[in-house]
């Protein structure tokens, strides 16, 4: 059990029958009344961010999580298959546990977060940016660059994103996996 004085950013706690990660916290000692801790916590299961105030000294259950490096192998009807980089142990995850699954390509390394006590996978973290090849896009029209216009493009993983007009088929681009946006062209 941990107290509110043990709170730190990134700490995972069990609260209201769910797992939450502390995004930020602030100890407040008003001039009148008792102290409290104002927190922003993010649900691991749903991704919702909540504001919650804990009275100072409240006991919460701290949950130990582990981050392990895995390599994506392939996708089939069971789910997404991964292999541990050191032990070569294979696991599979459901699509709902992988945010940005449309940017996963074979052989890509990512982090899978496990509940250490239960040995249960909680979610999969992709790298913030990945390099992917554009397999299809309409050709850009020369001289049509006065405005910041975007066009649809299909990537090698099958994902569709919006790219600037100067991007052509066969080019490598860097994509932000958090929001699925175009970052830059890779030389």
Q: Looking at the structure, do residues 146 and 105 belong to the same domain, yes or no?
A: no
User: Looking up tokens 């994506």, which residue turns up?
Assistant: 72
* CATH number of the domain that residue 40 is part of: 2.30.30.30
The rounded percent of the chain whose pLDDT value lies above 70 is 96
Q: Looking at the structure, do residues 94 and 135 belong to the same domain, yes or no?
A: no
Q: Looking at the structure, do residues 50 and 32 belong to the same domain, yes or no?
A: yes
* CATH number of the domain that residue 175 is part of: 2.40.50.140
- Say what the pLDDT of residue 45 is: 83
Res 42 pLDDT > 70 = yes
- Say what the pLDDT of residue 140 is: 73
CA of 96: how far to CAs of 44, 80, 114, in Å? 12, 10, 15
By C-alpha distance, which of 147, 179, 146, 183 is closest to 167? Answer: 183
Which two three-digit tokens encode residue 97? 């546990």
Long-range interactions of 138-145: CB distance < 8 A, separation 24+: 139/168, 140/165, 140/166, 140/167, 140/168, 141/165
* Cα 121 to Cα 70: distance, rounded to the nearest angstrom: 12
Which two three-digit tokens encode residue 1? 């059990």
User: Looking up tokens 């696991």, which residue turns up?
Assistant: 91
**Residue 144 CB: number of other CB atoms within 10 A?**
11
Q: Looking at the structure, do residues 34 and 85 belong to the same domain, yes or no?
A: no
Give the predicted TM-score (pTM) of the model: 0.78
Last residue of a domain, one of 98, 125, 152: 125
Number of independent structural domains in the chain: 3
Question: pLDDT tens for residues 80-123?
Answer: 999 999 999 999 999 988 988 999 999 999 999 999 888 899 98
Last residue of a domain, one of 12, 35, 62: 62
Q: Looking at the structure, do residues 148 and 97 belong to the same domain, yes or no?
A: no
- Count how many Cα atoms sit within 13 Å of the Cα of residue 182 in the half-sphere of its side chain: 24
> For residue 58, what are the domain limits?
2-62
Long-range interactions of 22-27: CB distance < 8 A, separation 24+: 23/49, 27/56
Contacts of residue 44, Cβ cutoff 8 Å, sequence gap at least 6: 12, 18, 19, 20, 21, 113, 122, 123
Q: What is the dihedral of CA 131, 137, 142, 146, to 10 degrees?
A: -70
- Taking residues 29-39, report their average pLDDT: 93
Q: Looking at the structure, do residues 51 and 95 belong to the same domain, yes or no?
A: no
Last residue of a domain, one of 107, 125, 143: 125
């Amino acid at each position: 059990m941990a107290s509110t004085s043990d709170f730190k950013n990134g700490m995972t706690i069990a609260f209201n029958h769910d797992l939450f990660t502390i995004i930020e916290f602030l100890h407040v000692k008003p001039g009148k009344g008792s102290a409290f801790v104002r927190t922003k916590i993010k649900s691991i299961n749903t991704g919702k961010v909540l504001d919650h105030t804990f009275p100072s000294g409240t006991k919460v259950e701290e949950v130990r999580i582990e981050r392990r490096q895995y390599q994506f192998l392939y996708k089939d009807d069971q789910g997404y298959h991964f292999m541990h980089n050191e032990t070569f142990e294979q696991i599979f995850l459901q699509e709902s546990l992988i945010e940005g699954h449309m940017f996963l390509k074979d052989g890509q390394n990512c982090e899978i977060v496990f509940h250490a006590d239960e040995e249960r996978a909680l979610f999969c973290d992709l790298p913030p940016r990945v390099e992917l090849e554009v397999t299809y896009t309409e050709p850009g029209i020369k001289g049509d660059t006065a405005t910041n216009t975007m066009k649809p493009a299909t990537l090698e993983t099958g994902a569709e994103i919006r790219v600037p007009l100067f991007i052509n088929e066969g080019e490598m681009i860097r994509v932000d996996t958090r929001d699925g946006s175009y970052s830059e062209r890779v030389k």
